[in-house]
Copies of this chain bind each other. A is one copy, B any other.
């Protein structure tokens, strides 16, 4: 498999974690989101993914896009270890946690949105950072409410093995720290992220360890 990735993209980071948890070897093809006006907009990459977003995964002769759709595909084609285990209700819960991050936090704080704020609305650095922190904390506090006091929460977001939810949680916590957000109001989130980061599959997927890391 071939993963089009950018070391700091948290959507790509999710897929790297899932590939590592599954033990699937892959070739990393870096796409630099900030260089040359964004390499994701160049014709070569648009031919891979017309949406001009990373990640994209070439697998089984096809290009797959959207990180959660990619992880569901990996889970269907490489069932062990299961990243969406349990009953339909279990999967609904862990998908909801994943989507509370992948839909309600990440897109609002994506690089292209921050660039629009600055370019079109004249937001200064302080306003940009306040925006970022506001949506990270609103979102992570919602995730904390889903995790805390729910008996289905275990060592990880759902039970005692990593799932799709953890693949989404850890990159978001990484971003929160990068923008100096305190996780004091989210102790369950912080505990689970710490537990994940002790695993090699998560460590190897982290931005600093990528071939294109700066």
Contact = CB atoms under 8 A, between A and B. Distances in A.
A69 interface: yes
> Which of A62, A76, A89 has the most C-beta atoms of chain B within 10 angstroms of its own C-beta?
A89
B113 A92 contact: no
> Which of A64, A127, A134 has the most C-beta atoms of chain B within 10 angstroms of its own C-beta?
A64
Question: Which range holds the interface residue count of chain A?
Answer: 35 or more
A103 B96 contact: no
A50 B76 CA distance: 31
A18 to B, nearest CB: 13
Interface of A: 50-53, 60, 62, 64-66, 68-70, 72-73, 76-77, 88-89, 91-93, 95-96, 98-100, 102-104, 106-108, 113, 116-117, 120-121, 123, 127, 130-131, 134, 142, 145-146
8 contacts: A60-B89, A62-B89, A65-B100, A69-B98, A73-B89, A103-B107, A116-B131, A120-B131
